[in-house]
Amino acid sequence: MTDTLIQTLDVALGERSYDIVIGPGLLGSLSQHIETVSPTARIAIITDETVYELHGQAIEQALAGRQTHIIIRPAGEAQKSLANLEDILDSLFRAGFDRSDLLIAFGGGVIGDLAGFAASIYKRGMPFIQVPTTLLSQVDSSVGGKTAINNQFGKNLIGAFYQPQKVVTDTDLLKTLPARQLKAGYAEVLKYGLLGDPAFFDALEAGLGQDILDLDEAALTKAIHVSCATKAKIVAQDEREGGVRALLNLGHTFGHALELEAGYDGDLLHGEAVSVGMEMAFRFAVEQGLCPVADADRVSAHLAATDMPRISDMTHLLHDPAALLKHMGQDKKNESGHLTLILPRKIGETFIEKRADREAVLRFLTQLRDEA
């Protein structure tokens, strides 16, 4: 392990504050990292089959000597259901866990959301630690304390704000992640630069972005640290999402419409939709005279250079502009009928437009379809 590469970030949320430790090889020293949280507690590990197959032995080895109980679920978004939540709770009860024990979420955002929510309600709340295994979960879902499951009415509609005691982010885990999942996570990394950190975008553009996609250890550690710090700063200002936290949705309302159009079992990952959605937000802002075209061009050029999903890859989802607009209106962040959009003034500066002009959005979507 290269200790010099390990970085620690304090998420400042008063008595709910916690550390995120980031770097290569951290899984091997997991026991040390949880020592400070819970030296004697029994540990329930919740993971999915894919992660278990690839890294199950490593986590079990890392926790040898501790009392552990492992719960392995199939992989996939469908796991975020009430029925599966109940199975997990039952398994914890059967194994006799109590409130002073510890739960570890070992997987991507699906496991983090599901296990985090289970931890929040098990006997009114038990401590939990995130060990995120996808780039998306390392830069996004493991920070901020949102936990949730889905139901027939939509995604993430049942859940709680519940902070982990610690996040242990081992960048080596990404070595087994399929390239497509890695890119989906990179969209969220890029988002942090675009929404408020122009110097970070400059660095990504100058090669850090490609280094991340090439799994360079130093690049990953740096980028995950910057991403988590940005998210943590925004969350600290707005833990329960009343204001600035909405900036984190840059690219997400356009992206959400594409996701709905593709269907949730369609072949479009969330991060892929966000990548395209950010390009759309910049293009729309240019159309509205809000953002210089040169900035939108730089965003598009970076997406092209890193082979990220772009508007031009989504022509099959653009054929019905009215349907897309309707999908955008279904975003749960919208207030009382108005369309809320996060729009750029330039790279690294965005704002919350709570009354976006629907007609203008429709014209824009129609133009994209006609150009396709």
Q: Is 240 a catalytic residue?
A: no
Q: Was 146 annotated as part of a binding site?
A: yes
Q: Does 308 bind ligand NAD (CB under 6 A)?
A: no
Q: Does 171 bind ligand NAD (CB under 6 A)?
A: no
Instruction: Give the residue, chosen from 23, 109, 209, 344, that forms a contact with ligand NAD under the rule CB under 6 A.
Output: 109
Count of Cβ atoms closer than 10 Å to residue 21 Cβ? 18
Q: Was 191 annotated as part of a binding site?
A: no
- HEC assignment per residue over 180-211: HHHHHHHHHHHHHHHHHCHHHHHHHHHHHHHH
Nearer to ligand NAD, 69 or 155 (CB): 155
**Site residues (CB under 6 A) for ligand NAD, limited to 240-279:** 270
Between CA 237 and CA 366 the distance in angstroms is 37
Classify 82 as helix, strand or coil. Answer: helix
Nearer to ligand NAD, 48 or 205 (CB): 48
Q: Find, among 149, 152, 230, the residue nearest to 195 by Cα.
A: 230
Q: Does 77 bind ligand NAD (CB under 6 A)?
A: yes
Which of 33, 249, 279, 298 is flagged as catalytic?
249
Helix ranges restricted to H, 108-216: 109-121, 135-136, 179-196, 198-203, 209-213
Q: Find, among 310, 274, 263, the residue nearest to 184 by Cα.
A: 274
Q: What angle do CA 165, 170, 173 make, to 5 degrees?
A: 130
Residues facing residue 130 across a β-bridge:
105, 167
Q: Does 50 bind ligand NAD (CB under 6 A)?
A: yes
**Site residues (CB under 6 A) for ligand NAD, limited to 124-153:** 133-134, 136-137, 140-141, 144, 146
Provide, rounded to whole angstroms, the least separation between the CB of residue 337 and ligand NAD: 25
Which of 66, 80, 183, 231 is flagged as catalytic?
231
Q: Find, among 331, 328, 337, the residue nearest to 355 by Cα.
A: 337
Q: Is 252 a catalytic residue?
A: yes
State the catalytic residues. 124, 146, 188, 231, 241, 245, 249, 252, 256, 270
Specify binding-site residues for Zn(2+): 188, 252, 270
By CB under 6 A, name the binding residues for ligand NAD. Answer: 48, 50-51, 54, 75, 77, 80, 107-111, 113, 133-134, 136-137, 140-141, 144, 146, 155-156, 173, 176-177, 181, 270
